[in-house]
Amino acid sequence: EPEVTQTPSHQVTQMGQEVILRCVPISNHLYFYWYRQILGQKVEFLVSFYNNEISEKSEIFDDQFSVERPDGSNFTLKIRSTKLEDSAMYFCASSEPKPGELFFGEGSRLTVL
């Protein structure tokens, strides 16, 4: 069964460093998303991406964040200068045009020290 894959599974970084999280969405999907989940809390929307541009973003997704689809398969989330409060599990998801049915990856755990 096709799946969303994410790397790395865990990254530890120093505050102020740049981090890039990578995702390979399901191959025939057209919508791509990043969500985050702080430990013990609910899953929060960060950004959605369609047709090579951001279609929706949350207030969390400030200027420190950016997304890119550098080639036909990868979808990346960059955090320019990490803060302690960026420590969370980051989930990539993808969907066909059909509304609602997002498929999530296993997540990348980011720890900022």
d(CA 41, CA 113): 20
Q: Is 56 in the site for other proteins (CB under 8 A)?
A: yes
Stretch that binds other proteins, among 14-22, 53-61, 65-73, 79-87 (CB under 8 A): 53-61
**Phi and psi dihedrals of 12, rounded to 5?**
-110, 130
Distances from the Cα of 42 to the Cαs of 38, 39, 86, in angstroms?
7, 8, 15
Q: Is 61 in the site for other proteins (CB under 8 A)?
A: no
Stretch that binds other proteins, among 14-22, 51-59, 64-72, 79-87 (CB under 8 A): 51-59
d(CA 33, CA 45): 8
CB of 97 to other proteins, least distance (A): 9
Q: Is 111 in the site for other proteins (CB under 8 A)?
A: no
Give one word for 84, left, alpha or beta, with left for phi > 0 and alpha for psi -120 to 50: alpha
The helix/strand/coil state of 84 is helix
Identity of the residue, 14 or 52, whose beta carbon is nearer to other proteins in the bound complex: 52
Q: Which residues bind other proteins (CB under 8 A)?
A: 4, 31, 33, 35, 41-45, 48, 50, 54-56, 58, 91, 93, 95, 99-107
